[in-house]
Amino acid sequence: MRSKKNARTLSQRQLRVGEMIKQALGNIFMRGEAKLPNIETSNITVTEVRMSPDLKTAKAFVLPLGGKNANEIIDVLKEFSFVVRKTLSKKITMKFLPKILFVKDESFDYAEKIENLIKNTNRQEKHE
């Protein structure tokens, strides 16, 4: 009897393909191989790539260096994702190349917020 799999649990295949795409996107951006208007792609960091269960969609979490102009850069990446996808198709071999959805990585902002809350709590405890 098979146990039910948690909906949030990713398969090894999803993790492996996500990591492969993350590495390839990182190299593409670092080398400036995807020519995108008004963006210096070497300043873009790919922090994570999550694959859908059918491997047809890749959600790429990206963050520009220093977090500057993040929303504008994400908008350009979304608009010209076909250029990035075409460049990616030359780097990796898959039966079906996934559609790439670019998302701003907010995990660093969240971690900083938590860190500040902890610092404030510690300061308040010292003053009491």
Helices 70-79, 81-89: inter-axial angle, 10-degree rounding:
60
The tally of domains found in the chain comes to: 1
Within-domain flag for 58:
yes
Q: What is the total residue count of the chain?
A: 128
Instruction: Show the domain range for 112.
Output: 12-127
Q: Determine which helix (DSSP H) or strand (DSSP E) holds 122, and give its type and residue range.
A: helix 107-127
- Give percent of the chain with pLDDT exceeding 90: 41
pLDDT at 122: 72
- Give percent of the chain with pLDDT exceeding 70: 87
pLDDT at 52: 93
Within-domain flag for 7:
no
Torsion on CA atoms 33, 29, 49, 73, rounded to nearest 10:
-110
pLDDT at 10: 76
Within-domain flag for 1:
no
Band of residue 7 on the pLDDT scale cut at 50, 70, 90: very low
pLDDT at 6: 43
Q: Using CA atoms, how far apart are residues 65 and 75, in angstroms rounded to an integer? A: 16
Higher pLDDT residue, 98 or 95? 98
3-state DSSP assignment of residue 94: coil
Residues 20-79 pLDDT 10s: 999 999 999 988 888 888 787 788 889 999 999 999 999 999 988 877 788 888 999 999
Within-domain flag for 25:
yes
Question: For residue 62, what are the β-bridge partners?
Answer: 46, 104
Q: Using CA atoms, how far apart are residues 31 and 116, in angstroms rounded to an integer? A: 35
Under a CB-based contact definition with an 8 Å cutoff, are residues 65 and 25 in contact?
no
Supply the CATH number for residue 23's domain.
Answer: 3.30.300.20
Within-domain flag for 59:
yes
> How many helices (DSSP H) and strands (DSSP E) are in the chain?
4, 3
Under a CB-based contact definition with an 8 Å cutoff, are residues 18 and 49 in contact?
yes
Q: Using CA atoms, how far apart are residues 69 and 73, in angstroms rounded to an integer? A: 6
pLDDT at 4: 43
Within-domain flag for 4:
no
